[in-house]
Amino acid sequence: MAEASAHVVQHGPPTTFLRKYVFSVDHKVIGKQYYGLALVAVFVGMFLSWLMRLHLINPNGKIWGLHYLSAVGAPGDVMTPEYYLSLLTMHGTLMVFFVLTNAPFAAFGNYFLPIQIGAEDMAFPRFNMMSFWTTFLAFCFLISAFFVPDGPPISGWTAYAPLSAVGSDAGPGLGMGQTLWGLSIFTFCIGSLLGALNFIATTLDLRAKGMTLSRMPIPSWAWFITSCIALLAFAVLLPACLLLILDRVAGTSFFIPAGLVISDKLQPHAGGSPLLWQHLFWFFGHPEVYIAILPSMGIVSHILINSMRKPLLSHKVVINCMIAIGFLSYMVWGHHMFVSGMNPYSSLEFTFPTLIITIPATILTLIWLASLYGAKLRITTASLFALGFISMFVSGGVSGLFLAQPSIDIYLHATYFVVGHFHMVMGVASLFGVFAGTYFWFPKMTGHMMSETLGKIHFWITFVGAYCIFMPFHYLGLAGNVRRYSAFTDDFLIPLIPVHKFITYAAILTGLGQMIFLYNLIHSRFKGAPAPDNPWDCTSLEWSVPSPPPWDNFGGKHPVVYHDPYQYSVKGESGKDFVMQTSPERVAEPNA
Amino acid sequence: MRGGMGKTFAIVVVILAIASAVPIVRHTWTPPVDISTHGHLIDAQLNDTMVEVGISFLAAQFVLALFVWMSSAPNSKIKSFPGGAKGLVIAALVLVGSEVIALGAFGQKAWAEVYFRPAVPDAVQIQTQAGQFAFYFRYPGPDGKFGPLHPDKIDEGNQNFFGLDPANDVDSRDDIVTGELAIPIHREVHLMMHAKDVGHSFYVRELRIQQDFVPGLDLSVHFTATQIGRYEIVCTQLCGLGHYNMKAYLNTLSQEDYDKWLKDKAAQQ
């Protein structure tokens, strides 16, 4: 495909403090803002998970100081069952939306997509600023649910109707807190839609001269495909949230059927369908998994190639697999609903695409593995996290084969097996991509190197810790341990409590390990060694500009691209083992 | 040692993979004994999948470890994987493709047994209602007919959990309402499910049955128990603050004991 060659000057340099750091239209500042927001969200989310884990192993025990967080939710520092569900809802919502969507996609995508394709900024810089601040507003709505009288919502991150739709008759947390949740996700969808449109327009219109689509580095491809998925997925969740809010505040009945008796009150609703919410939610929800993981796949591929000093076995196959995954992600949402009461014959329609999605995922994994054969590995913290990603992706991915089958799902649905599966593949694997990206791109983003020693300590704690936390979840699920319980009082669950204790200890230790990352991030930002322009001997465009790049990325120059993205271990004229995409030198036998 | 960090990674991956597989191989945590006529199909499917997944999991982790080990050696040279991407794509398409299609196709047997055929005509008819945070069960009584439901008449204080109106509905007068589910073994049970308020779910591990209650929808499942015993029925759909504590008991009885139990319950109504 021919490259887009229009060079557009989007804006001038920032002139005021506010324009430079707060209401900036510079994609790099916006990328950092998204990263900062995701960082706050991930630590809040992790803190909530600690509280949940502590409560689970001793439901009547005190968690010191908890009443400061909520006097109603933790009278005498003992967490109530409903407050456990509140924390669970907030943990899931923060992590899925504000961490797994924001960090690998919005944060890194914003910062590096324009530079990697040789653009000065995003296609619509003001839209870009608006997407971040809309997302920030969504975050404020969500966090404010902690401070409303009846507490944060308790209906889980999936907010199944009618529990989420009928209001406070159904229990605490389902009043103002649930409305704020709906408002938050509604707002988040607007921000994400604006962002997705911007990414697509930028990729299609603003590529530098010579940057054909096939010459785009894998992360740029991943962000582009993810934007296409996000555009369709959030476009469905947006109206779904609006309908949910209307059910709650305007007396409509989109998701509430007739004849419900809640707290001895016959509800004044008729005609709605709870399954409609599930369909709309999972039509978004399943592609969301790929919104979280595809950018990390791209980032990890990019870093692996750099560490291996050779390209992946096939650039084209990798891109095609990512496109196939994106396409198939729209045909599988019903596998979340096998036992929901939808027509049992429809399970056939959902199980096969779900199983078939294994094929592109396997091809990707095989390509990563086979590419490692005969590599000359340079082990850095970034490459360790990239290798760890492969291990995690395999471990979390294979358990999906069980859940894709409706017959097995009868037994495993709503158990900790599901929790283990999605935490490993969507949560940890995706976060490994974010960690890899952070250690890799931090020098470019800040002009300082991160400490490799601290980084490696962080890697080992996180890698081993993640296995210790999430592998046992699968075992619990096999024993039928139901999820979303605030205490295990059933006879068959009591013998499983020692496993929960092990998980809790592992989660606290692994969480403490993340403080090393936070320290490294903050300390290196100010005291880290100065970063050269291209510390990792990388070939893509972001490494052809100073660290950090100037406000217009290329200092007024118009970059020209001469090569496919990954010219490693080639014979160029400079004598190095790599040739940059922007270098006009000839390459004897270029990598395809 | 040069390349030490890469080799350490390889060793740790192997240890983690083996440690992850040990509890599976040793059957440390498994589903409880199956007490249904269809459960063995689900268990067989679970076991087959476990073998295929286990092999793929270990193979992928070991290959990852091996290649990282090899390419961490200080004297490693850049080489290409023999056969290139094409071989891998074909292998994945053929092997994984046939594996997953087979799993998908064979797995339908168990699913079809539960969902594609209706309950047999002489199945034991029982209705269940889920509400925050209890299950209730209704038997049709000697007339074999369930009286109609009137949600507006639900009154937990007066023990009218289902909203029955025996004063006006003849069919309701002999209906038996209980808080626990008793069923005879070796007879198919047709369980008709509805929710009173929000979504709930009916899960009995030993029966290999899980089915959501969806407000506004009348759903049903059927199953046949094969062993006498007492089992826990738990809710698996988040339904509010008491979700963790929403449970009931399933008593599987001999036909004689079941008849006696039904008679005793009828006398208590």
In chain A, where the domains are located: 28-254+270-579
pLDDT of residue B200 exceeding 50, the answer is: yes
% of chain A surpassing 70 pLDDT: 98
At B262, which CATH number? Answer: 2.60.40.420
When pLDDT is averaged across residues B122-140 and rounded to a whole number, the result is 97
Residue B150, token pair as written in the block = 């009137």
Contact state of A395 with B42 under an 8 Å Cβ cutoff? no
- pLDDT value at residue A2: 43
Host domain of residue B183:
124-268
Is B239's CB within 8 Å of A410's CB?
Answer: no
Confirm if B208 and B42 have CB atoms less than 8 A apart: yes
If asked whether residues B22 and B139 sit together in one domain, one would say no
Same domain, B91 and B153: no
Residue B1 is predicted with a pLDDT of 52
Q: Which residue has the tokens 């190639």?
A: A305
Contacts B242 to A, Cβ<8 Å:
81
Q: What are phi and psi of A450, to 5 degrees?
A: -90, 160
Query: Taking CB atoms and an 8 Å limit, are A411 and B31 in contact across chains?
Result: yes
Partners of residue A388 in chain B, C-beta under 8 Å: 9
**What would the pLDDT profile of A384-439 be if each residue is shown by its tens digit?**
999 999 999 999 999 999 999 999 999 999 999 999 999 999 999 999 999 999 99
Mutation target among A264, A276, A342, A410 for the B interface, most CBs of B within 10 A: A410
User: What is the ipTM metric for this complex?
Assistant: 0.96
On whether any CB of chain A is under 8 Å from the CB of B220, the answer is no
Give the mean pLDDT of B190-217. 97
Q: Is the pLDDT of residue A224 over 90?
A: yes
Alpha-carbon distance of A460 to A465, in angstroms, equals 8
**CB-based contact (8 Å) between B15 and chain A?**
no
Q: Nearest CB to A489: which of B16, B212, B244?
A: B244
- Say whether both B160 and B264 belong to one domain: yes
In A58-175, where does DSSP find H-type helix? 66-69, 81-93, 108-116, 125-144
On whether both B257 and B216 belong to a single domain, the answer is yes
Q: Is B96 on the interface with A (CB under 8 A)?
A: yes
Average per-residue pLDDT in chain B? Answer: 94
Domain A28-254+270-579 adopts which CATH fold?
Cytochrome C Oxidase; Chain A (1.20.210)
CA distance B112 to chain A (A): 9
The neighbouring-strand residues paired with B229 are B252
Q: Which residue has the tokens 């994984």?
A: B96
pLDDT band at B2 (very low <50, low <70, confident <90, very high): low
Asked if B250 and B230 touch (Cβ cutoff 8 Å), the reply is yes
How near does any CA of chain A get to the CA of B257, in Å? 24
Contact with chain A for residue B171, Cβ under 8 A: no
Shared domain for B111 and B128, answered yes or no, is: no
Q: Which amino acid is at A464?
A: V
How many domains does chain B divide into? 2
> Which of A28, A121, A26, A46 is CA-nearest to residue A462?
A46
Verify whether the Cβ–Cβ distance B9 to A379 is below 8 Å: yes
Confidence of residue A12 (pLDDT cuts 50, 70, 90): confident
pLDDT, one tens digit per residue, over B15-57 is: 999 999 999 999 999 999 999 999 999 999 999 999 999 999 9
Across the A/B interface, how many CB contacts are shorter than 8 Å?
Answer: 315
Residues B104 and B233 in one domain: no
pLDDT digits (tens, 9 = 90+) for A255-286: 999 999 999 899 999 999 999 999 999 999 99
CB contact under 8 A, B76 and A160: no
Beta bridge partners of B135: B130
Q: What is the pLDDT of residue B77?
A: 85
Instruction: Closest CB to A82: pick one of B24, B92, B241.
Output: B241
pLDDT at position A3, please?
47
CB of A67 closer than 8 Å to CB of A147:
no
The residues near A399 (Cβ < 8 Å, ≥ 6 apart) are A417, A420, A421, A424, A425, A474, B53
B41: closest chain A residue by CA: A407
Pair (B128, B238) in one structural domain: yes
Residue B73 has pLDDT above 90, yes or no: no
Average pLDDT score over residue span A338-352: 93
Instruction: Give the C-alpha separation, B18 to B9, whole Å.
Output: 14
Round the average pLDDT of chain A to a whole number and report it: 95
The C-alpha atoms of residue B95 and residue B103 are separated, in whole angstroms, by 12
| Residue A9: per-residue pLDDT | 60
Residue A174: C-alpha distances to residues A5, A145, A320 (Å): 53, 10, 44
Contacts of A319 in chain B (CB under 8 A): none
Average pLDDT (A570-586) is 91
Helix (H, G, I), strand (E, B) or coil at A316: helix
Determine contact: B151 vs chain A, CB below 8 A.
yes
Tokens 């283990």, located at residue: A420
Residue B7 scores a pLDDT above 50:
yes
| pLDDT at A494 exceeding the cut of 70 | yes
- The reply to whether B236 touches chain A by the CB within 8 Å rule is yes
What percent of chain A is predicted at pLDDT more than 90? 92
Evaluate if residue A217 carries a pLDDT over 60.
yes
Kindly tell me if the per-residue pLDDT of A6 is higher than 80: no
The answer to whether the Cβ–Cβ distance between A359 and B93 falls below 8 Å is: yes
Q: Return the half-sphere exposure (C-beta side, CA atoms, 13 A cut-off) of residue A559.
A: 28
Q: Is the pLDDT confidence value at A181 over 80?
A: yes
Q: What is the pLDDT of residues A131-146, one digit of tens each?
A: 999 999 999 999 999 9
Task: State the nearest Cα–Cα gap between A344 and chain B, in angstroms.
Answer: 6
Q: Can you tell me the mean pLDDT for A65-69?
A: 94
Please determine, for residue A4, whether its predicted confidence score (pLDDT) is greater than 60. no
Question: What residues of B are in contact with residue A377 (Cβ under 8 Å)?
Answer: 3, 6, 68, 71-72, 76
Q: Retrieve residue B250's tokens.
A: 């399933």
Out of B30, B77, B217, whose CB is closest to A341?
A: B217
- In terms of domains, do B138 and B239 share one? yes
Residues A428, A392 contacting (CB under 8 angstroms): yes
Asked whether residue B128 falls in the same domain as residue B105, the answer is: no
Query: Beta strand B188-195 with B247-253: parallel, antiparallel or unpaired?
Result: unpaired
| Helical H segments across A374-428, by residue range | 381-398, 400-403, 406-412, 416-422
Say if residues A329 and B200 touch (Cβ distance below 8 Å): no
Taking the Cβ of residue B130 and every Cβ of chain A, the question of whether any pair is shorter than 8 Å is answered with no
Residue B121 has pLDDT above 90, yes or no: yes
Predicted local distance difference test score (pLDDT) of residue A1: 42
Instruction: Report the pLDDT averaged over residues B110-129.
Output: 94
* Tokens at A187, concatenated: 């707002």
Question: Which among B149, B131, B177, B247 is positioned nearest to A261, based on CA atoms?
Answer: B131
Query: What mean pLDDT is predicted for residues A205-228?
Result: 97
User: Per-residue pLDDT for A221 more than 90?
Assistant: yes
Q: Are A198 and A113 in contact (CB under 8 A)?
A: no
